[in-house]
Structure 1
Amino acid sequence: MANQPDILLFIMDAAQAAALEPGSPSLTPNFDRLRERGLAFTRAYAPSPTCSPSRASLMT
């Protein structure tokens, strides 16, 4: 069996993406470390403008 990459999906309800970007005044050392060692999914489209239906669509 081929090695498959590990995937971490963070779904945050009350955080803006700008809070996790490099140079942000927020202190997020663990997120910074994950970002430096991984890939960022920087473009996404939501099926609904509200949180709950958008999160549910990820599971279908």
Structure 2
Amino acid sequence: MARTEKRWHAWMSWNYEKEERWLNEQSARGLHMTKGGAFRSEFERDGTVRYTYGLSIIRAA
């Protein structure tokens, strides 16, 4: 089985909580993001660790 996998996705910037949940679900399955993108991210498989992802949003005043 390949250690690196690519996953396709599309998120709207205001729906960042959905993306956080998805990333955390991938980590629970042993997939950890190594490279993020607008529509595609790359993950490395490692079942020995689990990360918690959090995205920060900067809002204009």
TM-score between both structures, scaled by the size of structure 1: 0.30
Instruction: Determine which structure has greater relative contact order: mean sequence separation of CA pairs < 8 Å that are 6+ residues apart, divided by chain length.
Output: 2
- Larger strand proportion, structure 1 or 2? 2
TM-score between both structures, scaled by the size of structure 2: 0.29
Larger Rg: 1
- Larger helix proportion, structure 1 or 2? 1
